[in-house]
């Protein structure tokens, strides 16, 4: 898959429709995926109308194409056509700086949603894959048919997966399910993308200042989802010490990140909630919190 930066150059071919250039660009980049030009055009119109229905303001055709992630959009459209090579590409997609497969990233989310329930974790991922192409219920769109190409496909699928299962958990608890638009994830807007970039840089700066013992504590709590008691037993420290250190890390991160975002001009509400929602996944993508690095730190800590 690709980012918007690798789109075809249209400056020397102004007489050729951009949709035609887009089609040939995708076919050159992904020659194994044979999608006919007229089918590609139909999906382009479909996703444009889908995006217009989501957007708060009128979105022009040119702006839609400017913000399109062409290869991600091409793969999703081809999957909807039942193209087996497109599905192979989707299964092989890698995500995050840990470079894990998309299906493994989904399993990691499932493990956080359904801790210590491996059967439910597996079924959650399998159900989601099934509903990429087939609607969950009559009158709704398949998940891939909700993708408008205006953001990278893999992170979008991961977020939709999480929201989809959170909605199911809310229903089971007697709470109102998330609206359909939330499941389809029409956001982030360009402004959200800017704040995510600012936030990601600030979070990496904060993490770089932590010593190895704090990184190990974060890793055991976040990546391995150990309880305070389990961490205290593993590190051979008092449970109260683990609790105090965890609270200290949380408070310091909120203080650091709030200050950085406010300095950059944040004027929105719920800043602390925004930080909490973004921080977890960003930390899990950091190399210092990878499973291999945590294992090395733990072995050194225990004198192995």
pLDDT tens across 169-208, in order? 766 655 444 444 444 433 333 446 677 788 888 888 898 8
Q: Looking at residue 203, what is its pLDDT?
A: 87
Q: pTM value?
A: 0.55
Q: Looking at residue 55, what is its pLDDT?
A: 62
Q: Looking at residue 77, what is its pLDDT?
A: 96
Judged against a pLDDT cut of 60, whether residue 128 lies above it is answered with yes
* Residues forming a β-bridge with 233: none
Q: Looking at residue 35, what is its pLDDT?
A: 92
Mean pLDDT value across the chain? 79
User: What average pLDDT does this structure show over 130-136?
Assistant: 83
Q: pLDDT tier at 104 (50, 70, 90 boundaries)?
A: confident
Q: Looking at residue 15, what is its pLDDT?
A: 54
Gap between the Cα atoms of 65 and 157, Å rounded: 21
* Per-domain residue ranges of the chain: 4-90, 104-184, 190-301
pLDDT > 70 fraction of the chain, expressed in percent and rounded: 79
User: What average pLDDT does this structure show over 62-66?
Assistant: 90
Judged against a pLDDT cut of 90, whether residue 40 lies above it is answered with yes
Q: Looking at residue 188, what is its pLDDT?
A: 38
């Amino acid at each position: 898959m690709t980012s918007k930066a690798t789109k075809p150059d249209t400056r020397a071919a102004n007489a050729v429709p951009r949709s035609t250039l887009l089609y040939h660009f995708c076919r050159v980049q992904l020659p194994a995926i044979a999608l006919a030009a007229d089918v590609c055009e139909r999906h382009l119109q479909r996703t444009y109308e889908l995006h217009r229905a989501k957007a708060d303001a009128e979105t022009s055709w040119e702006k839609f194409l400017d913000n399109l992630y062409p290869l991600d959009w091409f793969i999703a459209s081809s999957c909807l056509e039942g193209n087996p090579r497109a599905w192979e590409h989707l299964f092989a997609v890698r995500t995050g700086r840990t470079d894990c497969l998309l299906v493994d990233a989904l399993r990691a989310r499932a493990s956080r949603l359904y801790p210590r329930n491996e059967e439910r974790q597996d079924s959650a991922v399998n159900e989601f894959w099934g509903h990429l192409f087939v609607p969950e219920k009559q009158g709704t769109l398949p998940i891939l048919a909700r993708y408008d190409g205006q953001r990278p496909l893999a992170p979008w699928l991961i977020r939709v997966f999480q929201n989809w299962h959170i909605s199911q958990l809310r229903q089971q608890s007697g709470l109102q399910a998330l609206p359909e638009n939330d499941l389809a994830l029409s956001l982030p807007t360009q402004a959200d993308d800017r704040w995510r970039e600012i936030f990601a840089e600030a979070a990496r700066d904060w993490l770089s200042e932590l010593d190895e013992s704090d990184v190990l504590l974060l890793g055991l709590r976040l990546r391995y989802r150990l309880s305070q008691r389990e961490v205290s037993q593993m590190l051979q420290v008092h449970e109260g010490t683990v609790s105090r250190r965890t609270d200290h890390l949380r408070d310091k991160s909120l203080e650091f990140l709030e200050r950085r975002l406010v300095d950059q001009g944040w004027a929105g509400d719920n800043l602390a909630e925004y930080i909490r929602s973004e921080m977890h996944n960003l930390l899990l993508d950091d190399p210092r919190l990878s499973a291999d690095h945590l294992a090395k730190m733990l072995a050194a800590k225990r004198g192995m």
